[in-house]
């Protein structure tokens, strides 16, 4: 694992409590293999960071788009803070280099790693909030995410993939898509869902997410791509 001081340099911020920064990147699986460390994993910080992230982005969008209705603002926010978006921001920061994972988790490079990255990004927000308050966390979020907003809005990336798939499927096939849980993994407080998108009996794609809703959206997006819609 790279030295956390290098990340502080990237952030332009030095933690007063270094344990918060360590905890932000400590995955539950790492502690399962290193039980003697007596360290906390990052799930509580992730819980806090998720709430701070939602408030900061909500405040930003509310101010930036004074004429937009609640429904569109909600969709903009969802596009900015979904797993892919914040995992992407985490990847640009190089969070991968600082993650403390089990040997098994460290080999995973697929959707599961995206979720781990997204969780760590939120945990880092929680750590910044506890170490220095709302304004520091807000500045970090602004630096990492706000620049994506114009592209999200202009390119329609905020549009609901499930609604789009339903509209096109009904128009072209005369069938309403359905969604089925293929599998779920993890404890109740940190589940990952794998959900299939179907037209009739044909499974078009599967999607993953930290909630059923997110997994369905991911499946719908992939189904649109698979059908060339």
- Residues 82-126 pLDDT 10s: 888 899 999 999 999 999 988 877 776 666 788 899 999 999 999
Write out the residue limits of the CATH 1.10.1520.10 domain(s) in the chain.
4-154
Active site residues: 50, 122
Q: In b/e form, how buried is each residue of 114-142, taking b as 16+ CB within 10 angstroms?
A: bbbbbbbbbbbbbbbbbbbeeebbbbbbe
- The whole-number pLDDT of residue 75 equals 82
The confidence score (pLDDT) of residue 170 equals: 87
For CATH 3.30.160.20, list the domain ranges present in the chain.
161-227
The per-residue pLDDT for 31 is 87
Which fold is adopted by the domain 4-154?
Answer: Ribonuclease iii, N-terminal Endonuclease Domain; Chain A (1.10.1520)
Q: Which fold has domain 161-227?
A: Double Stranded RNA Binding Domain (3.30.160)
Task: Give the model confidence (pLDDT) of 50-72 as tens digits.
Answer: 999 999 999 999 999 999 999 88
Question: Quick check: pTM over 0.85?
Answer: no
């Amino acid at each position: 694992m790279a030295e956390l001081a290098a990340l502080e340099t990237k952030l332009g911020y030095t933690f007063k409590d270094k344990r918060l920064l360590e905890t932000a990147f400590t995955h539950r699986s790492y502690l399962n293999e290193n039980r003697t460390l007596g360290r906390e994993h990052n799930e509580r910080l992730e819980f806090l960071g998720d709430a701070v992230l939602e408030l900061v982005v909500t405040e930003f969008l509310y101010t930036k788009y004074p004429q937009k209705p609640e429904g569109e603002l909600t969709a903009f926010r969802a596009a900015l803070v979904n797993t892919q978006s914040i995992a992407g921001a985490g990847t640009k920061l190089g969070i991968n280099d600082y993650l403390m994972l089990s040997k098994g988790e460290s080999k995973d490079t697929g959707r599961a790693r995206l979720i781990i990255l997204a969780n760590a990004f939120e945990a880092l927000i929680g750590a910044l909030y506890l170490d220095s308050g709302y304004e520091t966390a807000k500045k970090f979020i602004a630096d990492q995410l706000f620049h994506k907003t114009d592209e999200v809005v202009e390119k329609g990336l905020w549009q609901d993939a499930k609604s789009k798939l339903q509209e096109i499927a009904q128009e072209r096939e005369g069938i309403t898509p359905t969604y089925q849980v293929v599998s779920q993994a993890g404890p109740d407080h940190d589940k990952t869902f794998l959900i299939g998108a179907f037209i009739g009996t044909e499974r078009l794609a599967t999607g993953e997410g930290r909630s059923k809703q997110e997994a369905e959206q991911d499946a719908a997006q992939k189904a649109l791509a698979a059908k060339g819609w």
